[in-house]
Amino acid sequence: MANYHRLMVHPSTIDQLPTPALVVERSVFDRNLALMVEARPGDTLRPHVKAFKSTALAREMAAIGHQRFCTATIAEIEGMVAAGVGHDLLLANETLDYRRLGVLVEQGADITVAVDSDAVLAAVVAGGVRRVLIDVEVGLPRCGCDPADAGRLADAARAAGLEVRGVMGYEGHLMMVPDRDRRRDKVEAAMELLLDAHRDVGGDIVSGGGTGTYAVNEWVNEIQAGSYCLMDTQYATLEVPFEIALSVLADVVSVSAKGWAVTNAGLKSFGMDHGNPTWPDGELRFCSDEHSTLSTDVTPLRVGDRVRLLPAHVDPTIAKHERLWVVDGDHVIDQWPIDLRYW
At 69, the amino acid letter reads F
Please report the pLDDT score of residue 4 as a whole number. 47
Q: What residue spans of the chain are helical by DSSP H? A: 2-7, 26-39, 55-63, 74-83, 99-106, 118-127, 150-159, 180-201, 314-318
pLDDT in tens, 102-151: 999 999 999 999 999 999 999 999 999 999 999 999 999 999 999 999 99
Angle at 131 between CA 222 and CA 85, to 5 degrees: 60
Angle at 143 between CA 165 and CA 341, to 5 degrees: 90
Instruction: Please give the Cα distance from 293 to 307 (Å, whole number).
Output: 12
20: pLDDT strictly greater than 60: yes
5: pLDDT strictly greater than 70: no
Instruction: Please give the Cα distance from 286 to 314 (Å, whole number).
Output: 18
| Band of pLDDT at residue 168, cut at 50, 70 and 90 | very high
Please report the pLDDT score of residue 134 as a whole number. 99
pLDDT in tens, 188-219: 999 999 999 999 999 999 999 999 999 999 99
Domains and CATH numbers, the chain: 2-23+242-337 (2.40.37.20), 27-226 (3.20.20.10)
Concatenating the DSSP letter of every residue in 74-140 gives HHHHHHHHHHT--EEEEE-S--S--HHHHHHHHTT--EEEEE-SHHHHHHHHHHT--EEEEEB-SSS
| Band of pLDDT at residue 86, cut at 50, 70 and 90 | confident
Half-sphere exposure of 190 toward its Cβ, with a 13 Å CA cutoff?
A: 30
Q: Note the residue count of the chain.
A: 343
Average pLDDT over residues 178-191: 98
Average pLDDT over residues 153-173: 98
Please report the pLDDT score of residue 2 as a whole number. 47
pLDDT in tens, 21-62: 999 999 999 999 999 999 999 999 999 999 999 999 999 999
pLDDT in tens, 215-260: 999 999 999 999 999 999 999 999 999 999 999 999 999 999 999 9
Please report the pLDDT score of residue 272 as a whole number. 95
| Band of pLDDT at residue 10, cut at 50, 70 and 90 | confident
Burial (CB count within 10 angstroms: exposed 0-12, middle 13-18, buried 19+), residue 43: middle
Please report the pLDDT score of residue 316 as a whole number. 97
**Contact of 166 with 199, CB cutoff 8 Å:** no
The closest of 124, 143, 132, 140 to 201, measured between CA atoms, is 132
Phi, psi values for residue 292, rounded to 5°: -125, 135
Please report the pLDDT score of residue 107 as a whole number. 97
- Return the sign of the alpha-carbon dihedral for residues 42, 43, 46, 49: positive
Instruction: Please give the Cα distance from 229 to 244 (Å, whole number).
Output: 8
- How many other C-beta atoms lie within 10 A of the C-beta of residue 339? 18
